[in-house]
Structure 1
Amino acid sequence: MKSKLLNSLCLLLSWFSHSQSELYVLMKTPQNNTRSNGTCRVGSYRDSYDITYREGSFAITGNSTVIKVDYQEGYNDDPGFDCNGPCGAYSEYCNGVEIQRTLNHFGEYENIYTGEDPIECTSNTCKPISYFAVLLPKLITPSDRICEKKPIFPTHSDGVNHNVSGLTWQFYSSAGRWEDIPTFKNRFPLNVSLLSIFGNNWRTRFNGNLQLRYKLNNSFSSSTIYSRSTYTIVLTECSPELVGEILPIHTRCNYTTDGKFTMTVNRNLVANEKLVVSLYEENVLNGTYFFRSQESTGTLVNNSNGTYSYTWNQDIDSGNYNIKFQTLLGGGSSIPSTDPSWATLEFSDEFTILNPNELDFNVVKLNDETCFNNGNGKIRINILDNEPGRSFQYKIYKVSGTSITTFRDWTNFSTSSFEIDSLDKNIYRIKVRDNEECYAR
C-alpha cells in the first residue's frame, strides 16, 4: 500500500510538472519573383498570412496546442500597382487553411517545400512554406543533487525515451563555451547519467555544477532555436550501491536482543572515506519508522568477488527495519551534517529480524525404582517446541531440602523425545537448553 501511494504521488507530481509546455518552431518562406516583366506579379498585390506561431519558442499552458497556417495570395498581370496603368487581370487563390494540426507532447509537424526559389509566376500555385513545430513538456531542474551514476533528468511520466527530430543537448564546458553532447541526440529528456555521457573523467569536462541546454535545427533552415531554459544540475558523488538485499542476522534466542544485519555494496571505500549507516525501526502501532541508531566505518570486508560488506555492530531486537546510508569523504573523525563532501543518501528496502522459536519441554515419569536401592528409575524428556535444526542438552540436579547438587552435567541428545534411566528414588530438577545455549523457560 505504501508503494502504491508513493507511486500515485509521484505520478501526480509528474503530471503537475508537465502541465506547462514549450513549443519550438522553425520556418522558411521562399522568395516571390516580383520582377516586372509585363506579364505578372505573384504575391505583390495582396499577400496575407495567418500563422499562429512563427519561428521561435513559446511557453504553452497545458499539454497541447493548435498550429495553424493560412495563406491568401493575389495574382496581377498589371506591371504597375493599384491600376496605375491599364488595369489587368487579377485573381485570388489559396483561400483554404493550408496547415491546422493539434500537437500533444512530443507531437511534431514538418512540411518541406521543394519547388523553385524564387517562385516564378508561371507556377500559379499557393506560396509554399517550410515549417517544423514540436511541442515538448517543460523540463523541471531536479531539486536534489545528482551523482554521476544517476539519470540527470527523470524519465517523463509515460516512461518512454522520446525521439525529437533535430534536438541536440549542449553543456557549458571547462573551455568556457557551449559544446554539443555528441551522444544521445534527439533524446528527450536526457535521462542518462554523467558516466554514460562523459565517462569516468566527467569532472574534467566542466567546472563546478553541470549546465545544460538543448537546441533544435532543421535541414531547411539555417536558424537555431535554443531551449527556453538553461538547466543547472547540482552534483555530488555517488555512495556505493547495495548489492542484493540486506541480510538479517536473527536473534540467538527468543528472549535475547542480539540481532544484527549485514549490508553488501558494489565498491570499497577510498582513502579518507567513511560509510555512515542510519537504522530505522518500524513502529508496530502505526507502521511509521523512527530513527534507532547510527554507525560509521572506514573499513569494509572484502568478499573477493567484487563486493564489500559491513555488519552492524550494535545488538538490536526483533522487528522490521530499514536503513539510510551515505559516504563522507574527507570529514575526519566527526560526521557533521553540513559537511560539503557528503555523497548521495541511499535507502534500503525493509528487512525483518526474527526471534527463533521458544524452547519448551515436559518431563514424564516412566517408572520408579522397582526395588530398594535398585537405581532403575526412568523418565522421558519430550521437546514440545524448538527452533528447527538445533540439538539439545539436559542437566539434572538433586534437590534435598534447600540443597541442590548436580547429579548429571550437561548431556547431549538430538531427538525430540529422550529417555533417562538409572535414577534412584529422589527429587530431581531438570534444565534443557539447545546448542545455541538458549534455555527453556
Structure 2
Amino acid sequence: MKKILLLILLFYSFLGFGQEYGVWFSTLINNSRYESFNIRNVNEFTIKYLRQGRGEEAIIGGRVRRGESYNVSEVVKVESERMPVQIKIFRYEYNSSTEICRYDSGSNGSIPELKKYQYYGAYQKSRYLCDGIEIIRSRSKEKKSTCFGIMLPYYTQPDDNLRSRKDLLFKTQENIFLDAIVQVPEIVWEYNYDNKGFKHFPESIKHNFPMKSTVGEILIKENIQVGKPLKIKVRTDKSNLFSKVVSIGGKEIIRFFPELSLGIMSFNILAASPELSSIKPVKTTCNYSINGGFTLNLKRDLYTSEKETLVMTLYYDNNVLINQEFTSSKLTDNKDGTFGYTWKKLLDAGNYKVKFQTHKKKEGIDKDDPSWSSLIPADFVITKANKVKFSITNTSDETCFEKNNGYINIKAEGEGERTFLYQLTKEQVVQFYNGTSWVDYSGTKVDEKTWFPFISKNNTKIGNLAKGNYRVKVKDSKSCFAR
C-alpha cells in the first residue's frame, strides 16, 4: 500500500486586524495505518508533522514506521496581517499531490475564507473525496466528519495576572476583543481555583467567545479569598465534537477528535478595589483663582502590607484625560469608617470625572490600558467661590472746615462664612488710621498694616475723613479681592 499524506494549506492575506486569532483544526485518524497529516504555512515555506501524543517533528519524506499514524490537531495562531484564512486539504503520494478536499466546494473552484466564529467540517464521500460543510448552516453530516476547523480569539498569558472579584478575566490589550459574544459548543472554558481541580465555567458562559466575564461571574459558586491561585484553560469539548464510527478488527469503535487546548493561564486573586463612599469637591478660593480640588473618600484603607496601590485617572466631562495620580501609602482616616485621598494637582472650576482602581505595583496604569474602559466614572463639579462685591451705600462731607467728620458707608458680599476688610487710599497714597485720624502710611508693611476689618459682617463705616479724593479696596478673609 502506498504511503499517503494529507496536507492542510493555510493561505493568508493582509487585512490589518488588531488582535490575534487562532484556527482550531483537528482531524480524525483514518483506519489506515499508513496515513499521515501535516500543516504547511505557505508564506514561510515550512512543513510540520505532528505525531499524535508526542508533538515530534519529522523530516519531509521521512519514512513512517509500520503501525504508526500521524494527526494534524492543533491551534494555529493567525497573526492579524495574515487574515483571513483559506484552507485546502491535499493528498500526497510520494512526490505528487492531488487536491482531495476543500472547506467549501464552490462551483467556481474558489477557496472560501474561513470566517471568525464559523466552523467548517469535511467528510469523506469515498476514500479520499470530501465535501465541505459550513456547520453554522447544517450539521446533518457531522457523524461522517473527518476534520473540522474554527477561527477564534487567541488568548495568551497576561503579564499582569492580578485580578479582583470585579475585574474582567481578560482586561489587558492583547486579550481584549470587541466582537460580539458567540456560543461555541465545541470549545469549553474551565477553571481551577485554589488547586481544587478543573471545573467548567458556569453554564451560561462556558462556551463564550470572546470571554468577557469577570472573575466573580466565573467563580460564582466559590468562596473567593484574597491570595488564592486561579488557573484557566480552554479546550475542545469532546461531548460536543463530531465523531466517527470506524471498524477496527471487526469491532465498531467511535473515534473522537483529539483534544485541543490553549496553554493554562494563571492568575492570582487580590482584594477588590475599595468602594467609593463619596467625593468631596473643594471650591476655588476666589472666583478668579485656579486652585480647586477634591477628596476621594473610600470605604476601606489600602492593604499596604500587600503593596496595594490606588491609581486614579481624572477626566473632563467630555472624557478628555487630565492627569493620573497614584499612592501606595495609607489613606487619611476620616474617623467615620471612610478613608480619603486628596488630589494633589490644583484644578480650575468645572465638571470632572474620576476613575480609580488598585493593583500591586507601585506605579500608575497606562491611560490606554483596557481596564479603564470597564470602570464606571464618578462625576463631580468644582465650583468657583462667590465673587467679592461691594457698594457705597452712603457718603457725607465734613460738616465744618477741618472738622474731619466725613464718612463713607460700604456694603460687601461674597462667600457666606467669610468676613471683609477694606483699604483706604487718599490722593493715590495708602492711608493708615492711628486711632484718631487717617494719615499717609510710610512704612514697609502696607499689606499688614493698612487693611481694616468691617465693623459688622457685611457693612462698615469709614469715618473721621477730611476733605479729599478717596479710593476704597475690599477683600475677604481669604484675600479674595473685589474686582
TM-score interval w.r.t. the shorter chain? 0.5 to 0.7
Q: Distance in 2 between matches of 1:189 and 1:127?
A: 25
Q: Distance in 2 between matches of 1:175 and 1:359?
A: 67
Q: Distance in 1 between matches of 2:343 and 2:102?
A: 75
Residue 282 (structure 2) aligns with: 249
Residue 120 (structure 1) aligns with: none
- Aligned in 2, Cα 1:356/1:376: closer, same or farther, shift over 3 Å? same
Alignment of 1:17 with 2:59, yes or no, is no
- Percent identical residues: 18
- Paired AA for residue 201 in structure 1: N
Which of 144, 167, 183 lines up with 1:150 in the alignment?
Answer: 167
Matched residue of 1:66: which SS? strand
Q: Distance in 2 between matches of 1:438 and 1:16?
A: 54
The 8 Å contact of residues 311 and 326 in structure 2, kept in 1 or not, is answered as: yes
1:179-258 map, 5 Å: 179-183=199-203, 184-199=205-220, 201-203=223-225, 208-217=229-238, 218=240, 220-221=242-243, 223=256, 225-238=258-271, 240-241=273-274, 243=276, 247-253=280-286
- Aligned in 2, Cα 1:392/1:430: closer, same or farther, shift over 3 Å? farther
- Aligned in 2, Cα 1:429/1:257: closer, same or farther, shift over 3 Å? same
The 8 Å contact of residues 331 and 339 in structure 2, kept in 1 or not, is answered as: no
Which of 150, 170, 178 lines up with 2:190 in the alignment?
Answer: 170
Moved more, 185-194 or 396-405: 396-405
Which of 284, 296, 313 lines up with 2:329 in the alignment?
Answer: 296
The 8 Å contact of residues 309 and 362 in structure 2, kept in 1 or not, is answered as: no
Which of 327, 334, 342 lines up with 1:312 in the alignment?
Answer: 342
Deviation at 1:310, TM superposition (A): 0.6
- Aligned in 2, Cα 1:293/1:400: closer, same or farther, shift over 3 Å? farther
Residue 426 (structure 2) aligns with: none
Which of 263, 275, 285 lines up with 2:296 in the alignment?
Answer: 263
- Aligned in 2, Cα 1:276/1:234: closer, same or farther, shift over 3 Å? closer
- Aligned in 2, Cα 1:226/1:389: closer, same or farther, shift over 3 Å? farther
Deviation at 1:263, TM superposition (A): 0.5
Q: Distance in 2 between matches of 1:319 and 1:275?
A: 30
Residue 103 (structure 1) aligns with: 114
- Aligned in 2, Cα 1:411/1:136: closer, same or farther, shift over 3 Å? same
Deviation at 1:244, TM superposition (A): 8.4
RMSD after superposition: 5.7
Residue 425 (structure 1) aligns with: 466
Q: Distance in 2 between matches of 1:173 and 1:403?
A: 80
Matched residue of 1:195: which SS? helix
The alignment's TM-score, normalised by the length of structure 1, stands at 0.56
- Aligned in 2, Cα 1:185/1:145: closer, same or farther, shift over 3 Å? closer
CA distances 1:221-256 after superposition (whole Å, capped 9, x unpaired): 252544443142342524524638854313434698
- Paired AA for residue 420 in structure 2: Q
Residue 52 (structure 2) aligns with: none
Deviation at 1:68, TM superposition (A): 5.1
Q: Distance in 2 between matches of 1:127 and 1:249?
A: 67
Q: Distance in 2 between matches of 1:111 and 1:209?
A: 37
Deviation at 1:107, TM superposition (A): 1.2
Alignment of 1:66 with 2:89, yes or no, is no
The 8 Å contact of residues 163 and 188 in structure 1, kept in 2 or not, is answered as: yes
* Structure 1 residue ranges without an equivalent (≥5): 1-13, 32-47, 72-94, 114-125, 329-334, 338-344
CA distances 1:3-27 after superposition (whole Å, capped 9, x unpaired): xxxxxxxxxxx94432x42233365
Moved more, 58-67 or 396-405: 396-405
Deviation at 1:187, TM superposition (A): 0.8
* Structure 2 residue ranges without an equivalent (≥5): 1-15, 41-70, 92-99, 106-111, 125-140, 244-254, 364-370, 424-432, 444-448
Residue 56 (structure 1) aligns with: 73
Q: Distance in 2 between matches of 1:406 and 1:420?
A: 16
- Aligned in 2, Cα 1:176/1:162: closer, same or farther, shift over 3 Å? same
Q: Distance in 1 between matches of 2:314 and 2:104?
A: 62
The 8 Å contact of residues 194 and 202 in structure 1, kept in 2 or not, is answered as: no
- Paired AA for residue 24 in structure 2: L
Q: Distance in 1 between matches of 2:282 and 2:202?
A: 49
- Aligned in 2, Cα 1:110/1:361: closer, same or farther, shift over 3 Å? same
Deviation at 1:160, TM superposition (A): 1.7
1:86-101 map, 5 Å: 99-100=104-105, 101=112
Residue 408 (structure 2) aligns with: 379
The 8 Å contact of residues 278 and 298 in structure 2, kept in 1 or not, is answered as: no
- Paired AA for residue 160 in structure 1: A
Matched residue of 1:296: which SS? coil
Q: Distance in 1 between matches of 2:307 and 2:103?
A: 66
Residue 34 (structure 1) aligns with: none
- The aligned length equals 348
The 8 Å contact of residues 254 and 358 in structure 1, kept in 2 or not, is answered as: yes
Deviation at 1:96, TM superposition (A): 9.9
Q: Distance in 2 between matches of 1:96 and 1:395?
A: 95
- Aligned in 2, Cα 1:298/1:182: closer, same or farther, shift over 3 Å? same
CA distances 1:191-215 after superposition (whole Å, capped 9, x unpaired): 22222222462459x9645242322
Matched residue of 2:454: which SS? strand
Matched residue of 2:25: which SS? strand
